[in-house]
Amino acid sequence: MISRGEPGSRTWTAVLARGEDLLAVAALAAMALLPALEVLGRQLLGTSVPGGGVLVQHLTLWIAFLGAALASREGRLLSLSAGASLLPSNLQAAARVLTAGVGAAVATLLAWASLNLVLAERVGGKPLITGLPLWVAETIMPIGFAAVALRLAWRAGPTWPSRALAGFGLMAGGLLALAPEALARFPAWPGLLLLLVATLLGAPIFVALGGAALLLFLRAGVPIAAVPVETYRLVASPTLPTIPLFTLAGYLLAESGAPSRLIRLFRALFGWLPGGTAVVTALLCAFFTTFTGGSGVTILALGGLLLPALLEDRYPERFSLGLLTASGSLGLLFPPCLPVILFGVVAATPIDRLYLGGLVPGLLLVALVAGWGVSQALRSGTGRVPFEWREAAAAIWAAKWELGLPVLVLLGLFGGLATLVETAALAALYTLIVGVVVHRDLRLRGDARRVTVECATLVGGVLIILGVALGFTSYLVDAEVPARAAAWVRDTIHSRWLFLLALNLFLLVVGCLMDIFSAIVVVVPLIAPMGEAFGVDPVHLGIIFLANLELGYLTPPVGLNLFLASYRFGRPLSEICRAVGPPLLLLGAGVLLITYLPALSTALPALLGR
């Protein structure tokens, strides 16, 4: 990691780090303010901010690459595993150099391809808004990829020899950029095998997807600028700004005093039930995952509060660990959860219909986990919290601002008062104002800035994966892989129900091997033609996909929730795997119900005419 320098020092690395942080904060602040001004101007003055929507889309591009640079600086680019740590100690250093070198080579090639895109746009002279050329906004792409490449090489090890060895990756990427025809004489499989090995040893996920896309395009004689073109097309899409904005709202919510206030509220309302604390756990985790967009933040933010509460009420430890691990992914089907938005963007399915379609299946999954908690409580005689009207009223009053957030989001999404992006911006500003001004849980200059940088780091790590994944998907589409796969499935599987079962099994494997965002970008274009061929409603297909990916978080051996719970609670991974067995079976049954009862997903959108 590049040092920020000692406190008070003015080293160039400290100045660079501070500048990156401030740029990320400024970009996210502008992303939140511009749509909010759009809403106010439209409602009060009947006008709008000129070019506001286009600016917000391209600020998402900046957040993506600023965040990727931040993630590489902190060593937090998303990877499948830290496989190098499983090797003998004398091989670990070599593995880190290999992964860093491969990553640096891929990022260098992506930087060169992005630079070619920027130069082409400069010649074209297309304006972004009046007075600002498009190519100026796109310059963050080569700068971001170059920063990632340099930092990957720097982080190869603590010594100069290891960094120098990884630096050969920078040179290799540069040579391939200058002489791409050199790969035409060789088969693709050695390069793909190298990418696979590097990924298993801990190279970032974007290296695998971006490297595969670059290699396949080079072998096909297609200019590698095709990859950043697809990256730009996705990241600058009209609805993608919702991802950083809702993520910011979720981070601010988790870092404030909201978790404690909501725990008090749910315990006051439901603690008197048999298994009340377990029910509270399921409901509260679903609430948080809805706004954070992924189970990781939920487990890390709430685990330390909920595990002691469960143990205090005499729930068995294994049950408590399994409940918290399983509950971490509940809520992925509810508005405004981010995977639903991304699925709608990639599959060209109306997002409001997906949210309506996911409501009943989402409630079903929450009810299954909560019901498991109730049955455990009845068997083991756990404690309850007596219901008191005074405490319930006080808890509702204390959490009134947190309860206003879902109301704001639902009014924005379904009330016609704001667009999806505007709703996300209002949610982020609302959460910030509540945390800083109303409750004063957060300090504007300290906590709010830190949380914003954390949000940008996470978002950048995700969006850089999505961008290069779309480039990889573009190659698959050009090679007619989805069409051929759909034809093969039609010729091999003749029953719709058998197809749905095979789809469930396939998505379960995908869910435990890939993060949900990259899985959406890579896999949805493959399965959408198959679903259409078998007459599966697009909303139903989306809910099947997302429910299976939600289940994949819990699937051994590499489900993400298993690792996060092991880290958060300090328990061996094997113990966490045993603990999630019962909820995994329950949620698996729920996914089968969602799959084979299409009305659970399609009835509500049809009823409301969506």
Residue 430 tokens read as: 């609302």
Distance CA 329, CA 327 (A): 5
Task: Report the alpha-carbon distance of residue 508 to residue 500 in Å, rounded.
Answer: 12
Which residue stretches of the chain have pLDDT < 70?
1-10, 80-87, 184, 293-297, 383, 513, 557-558, 560, 567, 609-610
Q: Count of CB atoms within 10 A of residue 138's CB?
A: 26
Q: 258-270: string of b/e by CB count within 10 Å (b at 16+)?
A: bbebbbbbbbbbb
CA distance 345 to 349: 7
Residue 245, classified by CB atoms within 10 Å of its CB into exposed (0-12), middle (13-18) or buried (19+), is buried
Helix (H/G/I), strand (E/B), else coil: 129: strand
Q: Residue 125 burial by CB count (10 A; 0-12/13-18/19+): exposed, middle or buried?
A: exposed
| Selection from 183, 177, 171, 338 nearest residue 251 by Cα | 338
pLDDT reported for residue 177? 83
pLDDT tens digit sequence for 539-596: 999 999 999 988 887 877 667 677 777 767 877 877 888 888 899 999 999 999 999 9
Alpha helices in 415-448 (DSSP H): 420-433
Say which residues have a Cβ less than 8 Å from residue 511's Cβ, sequence separation at least 6.
519, 548, 549, 550, 551, 552, 553, 555, 559
pLDDT at 69: 92
**Alpha-carbon torsion angle 254, 258, 263, 265, nearest 10:** -150
pTM of the model: 0.82
| pLDDT on residue 7 | 46
pLDDT at 158 (0 to 100): 84
Residue 433, pLDDT score: 93
Residue 1: what pLDDT?
A: 34
Q: Please tell me the predicted confidence (pLDDT) of residue 5.
A: 42
**Cα separation of 301 and 299, whole Å?**
6
Paired strand residues for 127: 133
Q: Are 349 and 343 in contact (CB under 8 A)?
A: yes
pLDDT of 9: 42
Mind listing the pLDDT tens digit for each residue in 467-489?
888 888 888 888 878 778 878 88
Residues 285, 308: Cα–Cα separation, whole Å = 15
Nearest residue to 127 (alpha-carbon basis) of 119, 141, 137: 137
Amino acid identity for residue 154 in this structure: W
Six-digit token pair at 49? 């901010």
